Structure 1
Amino acid sequence: MGGMPAPDAAQREAAHNLEVMKRLREVEQAIDARAPESDIEPSLDQIRAVMDLLGDPQRSYPVIHLTGTNGKTSTTRIIDSLLREMGLKTGRFTSPHLHSMRERIALSGVPISPERFIAAYDEVLPFVELVDAQSAEAGRPRMNYFQMLVAIAYAAFADAPVDVAIVEVGLGGAWDATNVADGQVAVVTPVSLDHTRMLGDTVEAIADEKSGIIKAGAVAVIGVQEPEVTEIMAARAEAVGARIALEGNDFGLLTREVAVGGQQISVRGLSGDYEDLLLPLHGAHQAHNTVLAIVAVEAFLGGGEQRLEPDIVRAGIAAVASPGRLEIVRRSPTVLVDAAHNPAGALALRAALEDSFNFARIIGVVAILKDKDATEMLEILEPVLDHVVVSRTTSPRAMRPDELGELAVDIFGEDRVTVVQDLPDALDTAAGLADEGGVGGGVLATGSVTTAAEVRMLLGATEV
């Protein structure tokens, strides 16, 4: 008999789904209960021990490894899109997430399913608990939130199995938990000062830590850097026996023009040119991220000797999305969200606003975490924002609106600043101000990944 499934089948499926969601919540709570990802110690002993006990799943597929200060997640997503267009099964690991920790682990471009996430968790947990017990005996902390997710990701990629994993570091490079894998290609996006508390106070110290993902026999693909950063990367490549390819030297962006819905770019790769690619992301920084992504794929597939099929590159680039990165989440008034959370991110955001958007007025909704350089970010954004509504996200690390408001008044003047205690009201206030002078006003919500995530959710955009 065709037609509708028997009610008991439908009921069974509903019961199963409920069971899965309940279990997923328990697993997520258990992972959340671990020390935060900012709690790091310079050691790979624990994650190495877990991988060893699992049979080193991270060695069962090739890895493209990415570090840098800004642009890592977008570049990772562009590489993923290109490789999928070529018919490869991909694993993608990025951080932080916008809405759910499962977003960090994607299989073939889609966040890992609850079932697969739970299965990978159950697979690694006994070994994690074993290593945690050994750590406790030695007076060391148990594995943190991030290390746990790395273990789950590497196991899930092996189980899928994937043809290639594209892995973004969490923080730094050498001592990042992801670095138990050895990238066949190591990509370094632009390096600037960001997590200085963890990584040292100079660009050189940060670059040195990040250069730790460059391994013997790899190809290191290096984005535009300060000269001292390039020197450190080149020295590391030479020391370990890796090939190095430098943007602006060995490859680069040939042309870019703003186009409807993004930009049209032409790229000089290691093995040929790729012309008139339509990239559906805004800003020169995304054009540069795309250049790095194309070259990383060239390096991965043919050691950079073989030109990629132009039509495949064109299709892979056209299919790219990077949620929360200068993303339009609503029209009338237009609301943009951007995850900029440091001065370099704010500069890229400002340049993109000036070059890609044509608003009569832009009203900012700004919420920043207290360990970030709020003053410098506000100074950078001041020329492009007509008015700023300062607020806070639900993050416990959020700076108080009154405090942020005082900083903003010093930069914008009192008449251009409104302080609103919670984000939903701040968004309403900003939309009202954007509409005030007639058509053509826009709202930009920025200042942290959490700001972008919460505004997306408030406006019903939760697709990743």
Structure 2
Amino acid sequence: MVLHQPRFEEKSMINTYERALKFIHGRSKFKKIPTLKRMRTFLDELGSPDKQVNAIHVAGTNGKGSTVAFLRNILQADGNVVGTFTSPFLVKFNERISVNGIPLPDAEILRLVQKIYPTVQKLDQTLPEGGPTEFEIITAMMFSYFAEGHADVVIVEVGLGGLYDSTNVIVPKVSAIVTIGWDHMHILGDTLPKIAYQKAGIIKPGIPVVVGRIDPEPLKVIKDVAQKKKSPISILGDDFKVAALKEHDWLQSFSFTSGKYRFAKLSTTLIGDYQADNAAVAIQAYLDYQEVMDQAVSESSIIDGIRNTQWAGRFERVSTDPTIVLDGAHNISAVDEIVKLLQNDFADHKVYILMGILADKQADKMVRKMATFENAEIILTHFAGPGKRQAADPEALEQKVGQTPDDILTIADWQQAIETIKPKLNADDILLITGSLYFISDVRKYLKLNSK
């Protein structure tokens, strides 16, 4: 039998956190043929831990992370211990598996790798296509951990797409599809309906599904899948509604209505109409979950949960003097929302926008869209992409966009760019640092070091 995955080392040699991460990140990222069979086999070998958790499954192009955060805080305010599985991480790998917002300790990551390693080794030897991928291993670690009883409910965020995502082995209590937009087209499809079909893959027979604000064509695909699977569906704008008010003093206020429920005075530090939409999806998912579990709905839990939600890298104000904001707007759909936010709430501010974008995104479209905000000065920069993925070359991107030098500047060194822009900011100006979440992660570390 030929090994399809290079052996790492014996289990006894994975004896440190660093070696555990080396093992995880050393795995293949993708297989040629998408399938859930390998993941199902993997979990069955581990005792089917996915069947031992109460889960809420969340998919979507953008807004998954914020929706998970809102929902986690509502459920926590209700007295639950809440597990979450999210990606990517911003500061440290451990963030991906968290309990009540607290990432697992290094020792638990090491223990989980040691626990699943013999099964990975067995599947490397026996499966024709080779053993589990990196994300499948992380997913199995998450299910194994929460099957041990560390949470009352686990919110599982889809990694990529939905239909063939390794998390899609779960049969949740509630599913949610937050948004459908342009991202990962080389994998998910080149039209929004095709992308929607992949996201709708998380809909399970008879399981309630909550759907965010989605255009008619992709929405029809989702509705058709829900109908075929006889899954009750709640759609933002039809079955539940949100009315967002103008941002004031870095707070987003909104009201929410769903059937007999009406909450008129909700507010969050996550600003933008799209965050009100994300919060609405989270609230509806909570209402559905409580109904499925035959538990009472708490208005105070909703109010407190929404108010207390924070999510790093989502129009996050990290400095007030000068005003610096971080936002991981990593695709064209996210940039569209940022531009709407700037036009609606910050039209009278000068905004310096420092952009670091991965090369495999629609980088030129993202820059052109950002340039439609009249008070923007855009600075393109470079950063070290993750693994083999490369950041877009800022000078080549500037030429491709075709703006004059007065409209778009290039400072290839992003640390230098930040230090160049900061002295220019007056009291009303904003430095918005945006693009890839990997770039935002690097910036967060840099700003933290600088503040010491």
For the criterion TM > 0.5, the same-fold answer is yes
In structure 2, the residue matched to 1:198 is 187
Which residue of 2 is the match for residue 390 of structure 1?
Answer: 380
- Residue number among 266, 272, 277 corresponding to 2:255 in the alignment: 266
Pick closer, same or farther for the CA change 1:327–1:255 going to 2, 3 Å. closer
Q: 1:452 aligns with which of 413, 419, 440?
A: 440
Paired position in structure 2 for 1:108: 100
Residue 297 (1) aligns with residue 286 (2)? yes
Match of 1:348 in 2: 337
1:262-411 alignment runs, 5 A limit: 262-303=251-292, 308-357=297-346, 360-384=349-373, 386-395=376-385, 396-408=389-401, 410-411=402-403
CA distance in 1, matches of 2:151, 2:206: 22
The residue identity in structure 1 corresponding to 2:434 is T
Contact persistence 1:24–1:118 (CA under 8 A): yes
Distance (Å, rounded) in 2 between the aligned partners of 1:71 and 1:380: 19
List per-residue Cα deviations over 1:96-128 (Å, max 9, x = no partner).
111222111111221111122222222112112
Question: Sequence identity, in percent?
Answer: 28
The one of 24, 46, 67 equivalent to 2:17 is 24
How big is the shift at 1:229? 1.8
- Does the Cα contact within 8 Å between 2:20 and 2:109 map onto a contact in 1? no
Query: Retained in 1: the 8 A contact 2:244–2:273?
Result: no
Question: TM-score, normalised on structure 2?
Answer: 0.91
Of 45, 56, 62, the match for 1:53:
45
Q: 1:351 deviation in Å? A: 1.5
Equivalent position of 1:16 in the other structure:
none
Q: Which moved more, 1:75-84 or 1:115-124?
A: 115-124
1:429 equivalent to 2:420? Answer yes
Task: Tell me if the contact between 2:355 and 2:381 (Cα under 8 Å) persists in the aligned partners.
Answer: yes
Helix, strand or coil: the match of 1:30? Answer: helix
Unpaired runs of 5+ residues, structure 2, are 1-13
CA distance in 2 between counterparts of 1:53 and 1:416 reads 57
In the alignment, is residue 219 of structure 1 matched against residue 201 of structure 2?
no
Name the counterpart of 1:245: 234
- Aligned mates of 2:293, 2:272 — CA distance in 1: 26
Mapped to 2, the partners of 1:357 and 1:460 lie a distance apart of 26
Could you tell me how far apart the structure 2 residues matched to 1:232 and 1:203 are? 10
State whether residues 271 and 304 of structure 1, in contact with CA within 8 Å, keep that contact through their aligned partners in structure 2: no
Are the counterparts in 2 of residues 271 and 307 from structure 1 also a CA contact under 8 Å?
Answer: no
The structure 2 residue matched to 1:417, chosen from 383, 398, 408, is 408
In 2, distance between residues paired with 1:304 and 1:127? 34
Shift of 1:71: 0.5
Tell whether 2:153 aligns with 1:153. no
Q: After the TM superposition, which segments of 4 or more aligned residues of structure 1 sit over 6 Å from their partners?
A: 304-307
1:304 is displaced (CA, Å) by 10
Contact 1:359 1:441 in 2 (8 A): no
Change (3 A) 1:42 1:268: same
TM-score between both structures, scaled by the size of structure 1: 0.89
Q: Which letter maps to 2:190?
A: D
Q: Which residue of 2 is the match for residue 126 of structure 1?
A: 118
1:99 paired to 2:91 = yes
Question: In the alignment, residue 426 of structure 1 is paired with which amino acid?
Answer: A
Tell me the distance in 1 between the aligned counterparts of 2:276 and 2:190: 29
The whole-number CA distance in structure 2 between the counterparts of 1:391 and 1:232 is: 38
Post-superposition CA distance 1:405-448 (Å, at most 9, x none): 3234x13x21233222222111112223x33xx43222111111
- In 2, distance between residues paired with 1:114 and 1:224? 38
Q: Measure the CA separation in 2 of the matches of 1:89 and 1:223.
A: 26
Paired with 1:305 and 1:230, the residues of 2 have a C-alpha distance of 29
Tell me by how many angstroms 1:85 deviates: 0.8
Count the aligned residue pairs.
433
Is the CA contact 2:246–2:344 (under 8 Å) kept in the aligned structure 1?
Answer: no
What's the counterpart of residue 109 of structure 2?
A: 117
**Given that residues 184 and 217 in structure 1 are in contact (C-alpha distance below 8 angstroms), is that contact kept between their aligned partners in structure 2?**
no
Match of 1:454, SS state, is helix
In the other structure, the counterpart of 2:223 is 234
Alignment partners' CA distance in 2, 1:371 and 1:195: 9
- 5+ residue gaps, structure 1, are 1-20
Q: CA deviation at 1:307?
A: 6.8
Aligned-residue RMSD, C-alpha = 2.1
- Amino acid in structure 1 at the alignment position of 2:431: V
